[in-house]
């Protein structure tokens, strides 16, 4: 993914600024409070240049891709946008075949007619933000229980959204901040015609792959380009040949002047989720119930996939995007637990809780108001800990590991309607089912799924208590098949229509509800979902306690530290972070520079390892030092650099800008030593890894000769 974080605006406006410039994901609409610190660091713009509803500003150039899964930015007046290669990876993969492998070869559209449509991809443009805290909280009487409170908030949010979007083409969301102490309305325009324009070969855009993921030094050209289209009247529209390029209110100029250590840098984007206000109990639960479980399952699943991908080009392409998505947070989970332990984060959280308890107990009024906060949090976490671990294993191994079962359940409702001859909108439903099925089978291999499903069931039975088993495991695998997992899976895959396109197509000629009820893979999928709902239901009481406790805890923290400006947790809304360019010292006798060069790409080259292949053309450019205007004064070419900007998932593709608001790079990763950063910010270690915009331009210019794209952009020195 995601909703969290602020308390009384007047109190915040009166509070001194944080002393550090690099911590905090700030709402651009409230940026005025940060301007003194930013200006001291070298910032040349004003708060109004960043966010305004009265004139074009930087916020108008920032895009939430697909509602916030990644960030992008406009770089031309004709709707051209830049983001990361891994943010466009699904689309690049979807257009790839063995005969036309865009993943391996890269892609550039030489004309707008060659740009590739991507059904389902969207660009969200922020129109405005409004503080609606008072409108919502004023409707909640003192003493309201958590369930009733949630209902009131939901009703008020729906009313506010309706009022903001009625008679418009806008969409809107109300997002809670600081655990329900603040609420903001975000109004968007959503454009659904987003076409692929350019992508480097994987050997550039994914250089280092899993080995280098989350690591520094980095040498990855992690970029891709799309274009946003709209109806001829400039309004949002689904894909149509009649659509025209969208003309943004603002697009980012690109700096060719480079940067130096300690230069100011800021990032704008849509960070997905942080948990900086986690308690010690939540942190421990995250480590065991989520991270350990997720890493365990994904490691087994990826090993299973890799055996097939390494030996079959078609399967490699089919599973490339699935593998990349899985491996990203597999490594993240391992790294986060490592950092949380190494940096003693649980102990630091306990120290904060002890300080909070001492402050609360020193005053009778505070004790009455906040005295239950930590008890509620502990009770809620401990009550749900076993459930959360079971859900993680269920989702990771049974939903995401048993591909055909997930597919079957997604289509079951539509197929059931098609089996009824009286269904009125049968043609529309059939079209939807066929489209989803074609998408699924395009990137599906029956044998991969069959073997992986065996591994997933074995692992699930080993790691999870029997009370949390789906019924197909209890009654069929362990009962009818007496624990013979291989036999069960082989029989299920032999009988089901959901793991074989020919069988599925034949079934679609005459959908039959009776046959669906007897399909073993659909039965398994239904049992998995039923068990998921059951376990989730067990969590409700604990979640209510946790929600109330966290709201009181965060409100108390803000009252306890009136001189601190509190930053809301990330929740996929637009944020700005600021800091400076620089290296770091991760360990004794280890110092990292703040930049890498193309020389380092060649130093890592290993033709026997796909992750470290270097394209012959790039090697030729390097040998000739044919860097043109993208070179440093000393003739080298920068590839990546690091800043101390505060980022997280969702910030991928975010523009990194200099003090004048000019694009100098694209954020694409964090560093291994600070993987605990989503839970606690580590100012001496936390780094944002950025691909230098001049390396991006070199690939477009010298590697692809994409002068049509270079010509659209605006440059400065």
363 and 450 assigned to the same domain: yes
For residue 658, what is the DSSP state? -
3-state secondary structure at position 716: strand
Among 541, 558, 586, the domain-final residue is 541
Burial of residue 533, with CB atoms counted within 10 A of its CB: 0-12 exposed, 13-18 middle, 19 or more buried: exposed
**What value, to the nearest 5°, has the Cα angle with vertex 132 and ends 127 and 133?**
140
Contacts of 672 (CB under 8 A, 6+ apart): 214, 215, 216, 335
3-state secondary structure at position 479: helix
Nearest to 221 by CA among 619, 601, 610, 645: 601
Characterize the bridge pairing of strands 715-716 and 254-255.
Answer: parallel
Question: For 588-633, where are the alpha helices, taking DSSP H only?
Answer: 598-604, 616-624
**CB crowding 203-228: b at 16 or more within 10 Å, else e:** bbbbbbbbebbbbbbbbbbbbbbbbb
**What value, to the nearest 5°, has the Cα angle with vertex 326 and ends 194 and 575?**
55
Q: What's residue 422's pLDDT? A: 87
Q: Cα(599)–Cα(703) distance, rounded to whole angstroms?
A: 16
Q: What's residue 565's pLDDT? A: 87
Question: For 573-683, where are the alpha helices, taking DSSP H only?
Answer: 598-604, 616-624
Give mean pLDDT in consecutive 10-residue pieces for the chain, a chain of 717 residues: 31 33 85 93 97 97 97 98 97 96 97 97 98 97 93 97 96 97 98 98 96 96 98 96 98 97 97 97 97 97 97 96 95 96 96 98 97 98 96 97 97 93 91 95 97 98 97 98 98 97 94 92 97 95 96 97 93 97 95 98 96 97 97 97 96 98 97 94 93 98 98 95
Catalytic residue set: 86, 222, 652
Cis peptide before 217 (omega within 30 of 0): yes
289 and 263 assigned to the same domain: no
231 and 298 assigned to the same domain: no
62 and 187 assigned to the same domain: yes
Which DSSP helix (H) or strand (E) runs through 249?
A: none
Among 541, 559, 578, the domain-final residue is 541
Q: How far is CA 470 from the centre of its chain?
A: 29
Q: Cα(452)–Cα(578) distance, rounded to whole angstroms?
A: 44
Phi, psi of 116 (to 5 degrees): -100, 125
Q: What's residue 122's pLDDT? A: 98
In angstroms, the first-to-last Cα distance of the chain is 38
Contact criterion met (CB below 8 Å) for 359 and 352: no
378 and 420 assigned to the same domain: yes
Contacts of 689 (CB under 8 A, 6+ apart): 216, 218, 640, 642, 667, 668, 669, 670, 671
We report the CATH number of the domain holding residue 242 as 2.40.10.120
What total of structural domains would you count in the chain? 2
Q: What's residue 15's pLDDT? A: 32
Residue 678 lies in a domain: no
Cis peptide before 218 (omega within 30 of 0): no
128 and 184 assigned to the same domain: yes
Phi, psi of 432 (to 5 degrees): -65, -45
Nearest to 333 by CA among 385, 282, 298, 306: 298
Q: How far is CA 246 from the centre of its chain?
A: 25
Residue 32 lies in a domain: no
264 and 287 assigned to the same domain: no
Which DSSP helix (H) or strand (E) runs through 462?
A: helix 446-463
Q: Note the pLDDT tens digit of each residue in 207-245.
A: 999 999 999 999 999 999 999 999 999 999 999 999 999
Residue 46 lies in a domain: no
Contact criterion met (CB below 8 Å) for 671 and 332: no
Residue 558 lies in a domain: no
Average pLDDT score, the chain? 94
Contacts of 552 (CB under 8 A, 6+ apart): 369, 370, 372, 373, 376
387 and 443 assigned to the same domain: yes
Contact criterion met (CB below 8 Å) for 680 and 348: yes
Q: Cα(310)–Cα(661) distance, rounded to whole angstroms?
A: 44
Q: Note the pLDDT tens digit of each residue in 624-641.
A: 999 999 999 999 999 999
β-sheet bridge partners, residue 692: 665
Nearest to 680 by CA among 648, 654, 655: 648
Q: Cα(191)–Cα(3) distance, rounded to whole angstroms?
A: 23
110 and 74 assigned to the same domain: yes
What own/partner pairs with CB < 8 Å and gap ≥ 24 does 363-366 have?
366/556, 366/559
Q: What's residue 717's pLDDT? A: 84
Distances (CA, A) of 70 to 316, 429, 559, 667: 24, 31, 34, 10
Strands (E) in 396-549, as ranges, are: none
Q: With left for phi above 0 and alpha for psi between -120 and 50, is residue 26 left, alpha or beta?
A: beta
Q: Cα(544)–Cα(648) distance, rounded to whole angstroms?
A: 27
Contact criterion met (CB below 8 Å) for 698 and 639: no
**What torsion do the CA atoms of 635, 639, 645, 648 make, to the nearest 10 degrees?**
180
222 and 323 assigned to the same domain: no
Contact criterion met (CB below 8 Å) for 528 and 470: yes
Q: With left for phi above 0 and alpha for psi between -120 and 50, is residue 131 left, alpha or beta?
A: beta
Q: What's residue 21's pLDDT? A: 41
Domain that holds residue 84: 1-26+56-268+567-669+684-717
Residue 633 lies in a domain: yes
What angle in degrees, to the nearest 10, is found between the helix axes of 373-393 and 446-463? 140
355 and 422 assigned to the same domain: yes
Q: Cα(330)–Cα(348) distance, rounded to whole angstroms?
A: 25
Residue 561 lies in a domain: no
Contact criterion met (CB below 8 Å) for 224 and 638: no
Contact criterion met (CB below 8 Å) for 418 and 511: yes
Residue 50 lies in a domain: no
C-alpha atoms less than 13 angstroms from C-alpha of 123 in its C-beta half-sphere: 34
**What value, to the nearest 5°, has the Cα angle with vertex 443 and ends 441 and 447?**
80
Residue 44 lies in a domain: no
Question: For 561-706, where are the alpha helices, taking DSSP H only?
Answer: 598-604, 616-624, 693-698
What angle in degrees, to the nearest 10, is found between the helix axes of 293-309 and 313-342? 150
3-state secondary structure at position 256: coil
Nearest to 64 by CA among 127, 16, 7: 127
5 and 99 assigned to the same domain: yes
């Amino acid at each position: 993914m995601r909703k969290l974080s602020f308390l009384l605006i007047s109190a915040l406006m009166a509070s001194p600024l944080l002393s550090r410039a690099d911590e905090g994901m700030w709402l651009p609409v409230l940026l005025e409070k940060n301007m003194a610190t930013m200006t001291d660091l070298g910032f040349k713009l004003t708060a109004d240049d960043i966010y305004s509803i009265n004139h074009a500003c930087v916020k108008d150039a920032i895009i939430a891709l697909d509602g916030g899964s990644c960030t992008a930015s406009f770089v031309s007046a004709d709707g051209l946008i830049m983001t990361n290669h891994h943010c466009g990876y699904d689309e690049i993969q979807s257009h790839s075949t063995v005969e036309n492998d865009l993943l391996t070869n890269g892609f550039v559209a030489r004309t707008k007619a060659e740009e590739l449509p991507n059904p389902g991809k969207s660009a969200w443009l922020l129109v405005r933000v409004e503080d609606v805290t008072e409108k919502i909280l004023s409707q909640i009487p003192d003493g309201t229980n958590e369930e009733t409170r949630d209902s009131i908030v939901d009703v008020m949010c729906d009313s506010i959204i309706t009022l903001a979007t009625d008679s418009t083409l806008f969409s809107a969301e109300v997002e809670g901040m600081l655990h329900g102490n603040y609420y903001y309305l975000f109004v968007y325009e959503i454009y659904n015609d987003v076409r692929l324009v350019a992508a480097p070969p994987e050997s550039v855009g994914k250089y280092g792959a899993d080995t280098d993921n989350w690591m520094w030094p980095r040498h990855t050209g992690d970029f891709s380009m799309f274009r946003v289209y709209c109806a001829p009247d400039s309004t949002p529209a689904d894909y149509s040949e009649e659509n025209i390029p969208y003309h943004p209110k603002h697009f980012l100029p690109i700096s060719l002047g480079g940067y130096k250590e300690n230069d100011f840098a800021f990032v704008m984007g849509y960070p997905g989720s942080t948990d900086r206000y986690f308690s010690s109990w939540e942190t421990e639960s995250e480590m065991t119930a989520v991270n350990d479980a997720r890493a365990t399952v994904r490691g087994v699943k990826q090993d299973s996939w890799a055996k097939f991908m390494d030996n079959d080009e078609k399967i490699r392409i089919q599973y490339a995007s699935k593998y990349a998505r899985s491996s990203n947070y597999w490594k993240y989970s391992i790294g986060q637990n490592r950092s949380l332990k190494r940096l003693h984060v649980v102990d630091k959280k306990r120290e904060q809780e002890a300080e909070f308890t001492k402050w609360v107990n020193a005053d009778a009024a505070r004790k009455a108001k906040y005295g239950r906060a930590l008890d509620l949090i502990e009770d809620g976490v401990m009550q749900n800990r076993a459930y959360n671990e079971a859900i993680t294993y269920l989702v990771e191994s049974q939903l995401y590991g048993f591909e055909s079962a997930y597919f079957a359940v997604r289509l079951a409702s539509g197929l059931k309607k098609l089996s009824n001859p009286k269904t009125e909108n049968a043609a529309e439903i059939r079209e939807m089912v066929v489209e989803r099925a074609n998408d699924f089978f395009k990137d599906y291999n029956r044998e991969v799924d069959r073997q992986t499903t065996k591994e997933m069931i074995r692992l699930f039975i080993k790691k999870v208590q029997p009370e949390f088993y789906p019924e197909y495991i209890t009654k069929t695998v362990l009962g009818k098949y007496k624990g013979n997992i291989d036999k069960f899976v082989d029989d299920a895959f032999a009988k089901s229509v959901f793991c074989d396109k020919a069988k599925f197509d034949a079934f679609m000629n005459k959908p039959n509800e009776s046959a669906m009820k007897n399909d073993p893979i659909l039965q398994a999928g239904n049992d998995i979902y039923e068990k998921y709902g059951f376990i989730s239901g067990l969590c409700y009481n604990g979640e209510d306690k946790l929600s109330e406790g966290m709201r009181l805890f965060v409100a108390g923290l803000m009252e306890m530290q009136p001189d601190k400006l509190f930053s809301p947790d990330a929740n996929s809304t637009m944020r700005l972070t600021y800091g400076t360019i620089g290296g770091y010292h991760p360990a004794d006798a280890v110092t990292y520079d703040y930049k890498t060069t193309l020389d380092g790409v060649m130093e890592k080259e290993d033709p026997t390892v796909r992750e470290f292949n270097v394209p012959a053309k790039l090697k030729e450019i390097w040998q000739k030092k044919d860097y043109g205007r993208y070179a440093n004064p000393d003739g080298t070419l920068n590839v990546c650099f690091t800043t101390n900007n505060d980022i997280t998932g969702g910030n991928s593709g975010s523009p990194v800008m200099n003090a004048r608001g000019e694009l100098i790079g694209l954020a694409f990763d964090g560093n291994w030593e600070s993987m605990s950063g989503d839970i606690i910010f580590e100012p001496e270690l936390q780094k944002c890894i950025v691909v230098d915009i001049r390396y991006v331009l070199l690939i477009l210019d010298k590697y692809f000769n994409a002068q049509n794209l270079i010509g659209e952009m605006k440059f400065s020195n």
